[in-house]
């Protein structure tokens, strides 16, 4: 099993969710996050004072997929989230050793 964590622009969330749903992905966790990368923040003027906003709003999507479905999931996210501009985001893939469903006690892929 693979855990896919994708950091994307907020306005791309619906497209990414739809792309994953087409693959049959049923479970995912969505978190509103802020972060910075190579792209620096922006300068804003608030009540006459200049402030630098270092962290930009992003959405973090987490899902766990079978090994066979993980590559398709990554490709779907990349296609749906891409704008071709700086700051499109990142995708991280890691191996999951075990998964347990608390309610039923199911293990690994049956738990996902």
Query: Residue 29 is part of a domain; what is its CATH number?
Result: 3.30.70.120
Question: Tens of pLDDT along the chain (112 residues)?
Answer: 999 999 999 999 999 999 999 999 989 999 999 887 776 656 666 677 776 767 789 999 999 999 999 999 999 999 999 999 988 999 999 999 999 999 999 999 888 8
The reported pTM is 0.84
Nearest Cα residue to 91 out of 107, 100, 80, 99: 80
Count up the domains in the chain and report the number: 1
Quickly tell me which residue has 């590559």 as its tokens: 71
Residue 70's domain spans which residues?
2-110
């Amino acid at each position: 099993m693979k855990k896919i964590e994708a950091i994307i622009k907020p306005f791309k969330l619906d497209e990414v969710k739809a792309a994953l749903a087409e693959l049959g992905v049923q479970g995912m966790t969505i978190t509103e996050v802020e972060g910075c990368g190579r792209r620096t923040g922006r300068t804003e003027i608030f009540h006459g004072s200049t402030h630098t906003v270092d962290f930009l709003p992003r959405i973090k999507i987490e899902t766990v997929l079978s090994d066979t479905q993980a590559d398709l999931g990554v490709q779907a996210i990349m296609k749906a989230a891409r704008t071709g501009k700086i700051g499109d985001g990142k995708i991280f893939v890691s191996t999951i050793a075990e998964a347990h469903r608390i309610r039923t006690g199911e293990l690994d892929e049956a738990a996902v």
